[in-house]
């Protein structure tokens, strides 16, 4: 499996500081973006802590195959061990930011969103808190692998607000979940199987405020590699006024080239059959 | 400190100082502002304070929440707003400081992301979800119902990613000479359940059509994998 990733963060045209942060780990294939908030540079601190802690905690648990009881917080039975490592690292980052944010100094009230993506040969894990998003572009369609934690998104899900009303709402930036404001947080986690030619886009609301899902699909389908795709996204946001910090990470997956793929697949199927035949023989032998 | 003045037929009944991060209004006793009237839902509306701003949210009440005669689902309160709940009126009175800050924080700030103190809201949403049969709430769980005479019966899809095949580390184990180690996977995503063909010589069919990539699953879709046949549907989760 060949995985290429690239990321850019841009302060935008209206803000003086960049409170976004992101990370790319080409060994583990873990990608994180975070959008911090809170005055006196506290937003920058919150997003940086989130990105760094999620990376280090996840890496430690994954490389030691940590048992469930070593994780931070109760494991979620609907998730794989790796899904729980990722969820747990987000809960840990939340607790640390919350502690700092309630100490009463200049970091009072700081917080951050987070969107994290892990790609493994057998599964893809997407986790988020807040309104930073993860998109999957596959077979010409775009799908969100994250869920926005905002008042308006929750009202859309409950069927009491339309998407149009939500886009026009002055409340659309109010988060119902974030890292920092509460002692515990429940991250949204999804797992799926990777496919050849999968493209992923992780981004903060600086992008999604100005660029629609359809436009993200369009630009991704036209892109040859992740670096120029990220550049195109940020340029489009800048062209449209970039009122907020904008961060994009894009990841291109190539599972196998076509020839090898069909060969390997036939070989795997043959191996499956061979194992089956052997099992039958074993049973037949007295 | 802001306050709310409860009125009925233009008579002032009571004044409530806004001394918390979040207050609720409803018929039940445990609301901060309890209005004992059948036109008022158990948990009717909520007001959250974020910085100097107050945000009113209707909690899917039966008869709705109105501000200055306009129906709202959520609304940023301004000094002097009349919140109408049933036949009662709550007048919102902001403090001097809040009025000044509200002036300063006009339009451009709408683009700024804000955080709500979430614990209270979580509690409320939890309370509210139980009695109201909310449409489209993702509290459902997918089930595979085997209709091919195998002894599997019904299998609940409790995992975010369920693998199906003949290998030992899959969630649903099926037999068959041509069955792939992992023949198919079903993942639960924000948009719902999706089935994906992953390998082997046994074909995956959904409603009779061969699937080589992924398709979203709908209630009562028929899935065939080798000699197995099962139906997908979603039921209310009791957790």
For the stretch A203-226, pLDDT in tens is 999 999 999 999 999 999 999 999
- Return the residue of B nearest to A278 by Cα: B177
Residues A128 and A171 in one domain: yes
Q: Which residues of A touch B160 (CB under 8 A)?
A: 78-80, 83, 189-191
B46 vs A: CB within 8 A? no
Burial of A90 (0-12, 13-18, 19+ CB in 10 A): buried
Residues B198, B122: Cα–Cα separation, whole Å: 38
Q: Which residue of A119, A135, A192, A277 is the best one to mutate when testing the B interface, meaning the one whose CB has the most B CBs within 10 A? A: A192
Q: Which residues of A touch B116 (CB under 8 A)?
A: 151, 174-176, 181
Q: Which residues of A touch B166 (CB under 8 A)?
A: 272, 276
B133 vs A: CB within 8 A? no
pLDDT confidence band for A105 (50 / 70 / 90) = confident
Residues A108 and A142 in one domain: yes
Residue of B135, B161, B191 lying closest to A193 (CB–CB)? B161
B138 vs A: CB within 8 A? yes
Residues A130 and A267 in one domain: no
The CATH code of the domain that includes A9 is 3.60.40.10
B63 vs A: CB within 8 A? no
Residues B185, B172: Cα–Cα separation, whole Å: 10
Residues A139 and A162 in one domain: yes
B185 vs A: CB within 8 A? yes
| Res B130 pLDDT > 70 | no
Residues 6+ apart with CB under 8 A from A280: none
In this prediction, residue B168 carries a pLDDT of 87
- Return the residue of A nearest to B200 by Cα: A269
Between the ranges B12-16, B111-115, B220-224, where is the mean pLDDT highest? B220-224
Nearest to B187 by CA among B202, B200, B197: B197
In this prediction, residue A201 carries a pLDDT of 98
Calculate how close chain A gets to B15, using CA atoms only, in Å: 27
Residues A57 and A97 in one domain: yes
Residues A19 and A106 in one domain: yes
Calculate how close chain A gets to B107, using CA atoms only, in Å: 9
Residues A190 and A274 in one domain: no
Residues A95 and A211 in one domain: yes
For B41-86, how does the pLDDT look when each residue is reduced to its tens digit (9 = 90+)? 999 999 988 777 888 999 988 888 999 888 888 888 988 899 999 8
Bridge partners, residue A34, by sequence: A21
Q: By three-state DSSP, how is residue A279 classified? A: helix
ipTM over 0.90: no
| Res A260 pLDDT > 60 | no
Interface A–B counts its CB contacts (< 8 A) at 150
CB contact under 8 A, A277 and B136: no
* Domain extent at residue A168: 2-255
In this prediction, residue B133 carries a pLDDT of 37
Q: Average pLDDT of chain A?
A: 91
For A124-147, how does the pLDDT look when each residue is reduced to its tens digit (9 = 90+)? 999 999 999 999 999 999 999 999
Residue of B50, B116, B187 lying closest to A191 (CB–CB)? B187
Helices (H) and strands (E) in chain A, counts: 8, 12
Calculate how close chain A gets to B13, using CA atoms only, in Å: 31
Q: How many domains does chain A have?
A: 2
Residues A100 and A77 in one domain: yes
Residues A58 and A194 in one domain: yes
For B132-156, how does the pLDDT look when each residue is reduced to its tens digit (9 = 90+)? 333 444 578 999 998 876 777 889 9
The percentage of residues in chain A with a pLDDT greater than 70, rounded to a whole number, is 98
Nearest to B22 by CA among B55, B44, B52: B55
| Overall size of chain B counted in residues | 239
Between the ranges A172-186, A191-205, B5-19, B164-178, where is the mean pLDDT highest? A191-205
CB contact under 8 A, A268 and B201: no
Residues A278 and A228 in one domain: no
Residues A255, A119: Cα–Cα separation, whole Å: 11
Mean pLDDT over B156-161 rounds to 92
Nearest to A271 by CA among B179, B221, B189, B67: B179
Bridge partners, residue B149, by sequence: none
Residues A203 and A228 in one domain: yes
Residue of A151, A171, A272 lying closest to B180 (CB–CB)? A272
Nearest to A42 by CA among A5, A97, A95, A89: A97
| Res B127 pLDDT > 70 | no
CB contact under 8 A, A209 and B111: yes
């Amino acid at each position: 499996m060949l995985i290429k990733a690239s990321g850019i963060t841009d302060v935008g045209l209206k803000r003086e500081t960049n409170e976004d942060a992101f990370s790319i780990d080409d060994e583990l294939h873990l990608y994180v973006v975070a959008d911090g908030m809170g005055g006196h540079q506290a937003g920058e601190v919150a997003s940086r802590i989130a990105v760094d802690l999620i990376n280090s905690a996840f890496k430690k648990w994954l490389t030691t195959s940590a048992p469930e009881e070593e994780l931070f917080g109760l494991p979620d039975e609907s998730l794989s061990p790796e899904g729980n490592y990722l969820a747990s690292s987000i809960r840990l980052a939340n607790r640390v930011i919350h502690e700092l944010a309630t100490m009463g100094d200049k970091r009072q009230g700081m917080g951050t969103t987070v969107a994290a993506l892990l790609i493994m040969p057998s599964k893809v894990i997407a986790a988020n808190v807040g309104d930073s998003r993860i998109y999957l572009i596959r077979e010409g369609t775009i799908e969100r692998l994250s869920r926005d934690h905002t008042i308006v998104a929750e009202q859309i899900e409950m069927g009491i607000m339309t998407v149009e009303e939500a886009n026009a709402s002055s409340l659309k930036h109010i988060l119902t979940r974030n890292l920092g404001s509460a002692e515990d947080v429940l991250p949204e986690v999804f797992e799926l199987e990777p496919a050849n030619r999968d493209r992923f886009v992780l981004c903060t609301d600086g992008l999604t405020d100005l660029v629609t899902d359809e436009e993200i699909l369009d630009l991704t389908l036209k892109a040859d590699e992740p670096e120029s795709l990220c550049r195109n996204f940020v340029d489009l946001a800048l062209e449209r006024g970039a009122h907020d910090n904008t961060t994009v990470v894009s990841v291109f997956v190539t599972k196998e080239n076509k020839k090898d793929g069909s060969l390997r697949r036939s070989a795997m199927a043959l191996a499956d059959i061979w194992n089956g035949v052997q099992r039958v023989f074993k049973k037949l032998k007295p | 400190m802001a306050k709310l003045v409860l009125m009925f037929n233009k008579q002032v009944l009571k004044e409530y100082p806004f001394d918390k991060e979040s207050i609720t209004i409803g018929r039940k006793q445990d609301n901060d502002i309890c209005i004992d009237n059948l036109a008022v839902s158990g948990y009717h509306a909520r007001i959250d304070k974020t910085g100097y701003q107050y945000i009113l949210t209707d909690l899917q009440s039966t008869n709705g929440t109105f501000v200055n005669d306009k129906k709202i689902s959520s609304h940023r309160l301004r000094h002097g707003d009349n919140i109408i709940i049933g036949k009662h009126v709550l007048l919102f009175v902001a403090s001097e400081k809040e009025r000044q800050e509200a002036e300063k924080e006009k339009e451009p700030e709408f683009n700024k992301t804000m955080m709500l103190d979430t614990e209270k809201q979580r509690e409320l949403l939890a309370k509210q979800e139980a009695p109201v049969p909310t449409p489209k709430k993702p509290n459902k769980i997918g089930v595979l119902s085997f209709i091919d005479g195998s002894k599997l019966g019904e299998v609940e899809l409790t995992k975010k990613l369920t693998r199906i095949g003949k290998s030992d580390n899959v969630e649903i184990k099926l037999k068959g000479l041509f069955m792939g180690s992992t023949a198919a996977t079903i993942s639960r995503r924000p948009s719902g359940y999706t089935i994906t063909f992953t390998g082997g010589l046994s074909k995956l069919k959904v409603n009779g059509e061969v699937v080589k990539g992924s398709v979203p699953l709908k209630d009562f879709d028929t899935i065939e994998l080798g000699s197995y046949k099962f139906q997908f549907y979603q039921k209310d989760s009791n957790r």
